[in-house]
Structure 1
Amino acid sequence: MAKATTIKIKLLSTADTGYFYVTKKNSRTMTEKMSMRKYDPVAKKHVEFKETKIK
């Protein structure tokens, strides 16, 4: 069976609040780790979110 093209990932806040977003990414086109600036409601500001595995 073929490997799925889209995988679920967890975007974890770098502000060490423990807040995270769950999103999908295409693992064939985006081979590097994903990072985005998004809003962290615990820190009450926009911070960098980095990709981690869903356990």
Structure 2
Amino acid sequence: MAKGKDVRVIVILECIRCGRNGVNKESPGISRYITEKNRHNTPNRLELRKFCRYCYKHTIHGEIKK
């Protein structure tokens, strides 16, 4: 039996404040988290509030392309 697309996929979450298009250009780095999501239940891009160690606060981390 052939295996189709996997339902659970690995995604990378990046801080939107200190990320690539972020406003905070003086931050020393970019906060990233790795997690999984269910492709059927969450077809859109994932956004979670996580702690950013460069901003020193909880910020929104959005899904980026691999």
Structure 2 unaligned spans of 5+: 19-28
**Greater Rg, structure 1 or structure 2?**
2
**TM-score computed with the length of structure 1 as normaliser:** 0.88
Q: Which amino acid aligns with 2:7?
A: T
Q: Which has the higher strand share?
A: 1
**TM-score computed with the length of structure 2 as normaliser:** 0.75
Give the percent of matched residue pairs that are identical in Structure 1 and Structure 2. Answer: 22
Structure-2 residue corresponding to 1:30: 42
Structure-1 residue corresponding to 2:10: 8
Matched residue pairs, number?
A: 54
Give the drift of 1:36: 0.8
Q: Which amino acid aligns with 1:10?
A: I
Structure 1 residue ranges (4+ consecutive) displaced by more than 6 angstroms after TM superposition? none
Separation in structure 2 between the aligned mates of residue 53 and residue 28 of structure 1, nearest angstrom: 18
RMSD of aligned residue pairs (Cα, Å): 1.0
Give the drift of 1:18: 1.4
Structure 1 unaligned spans of 5+: none
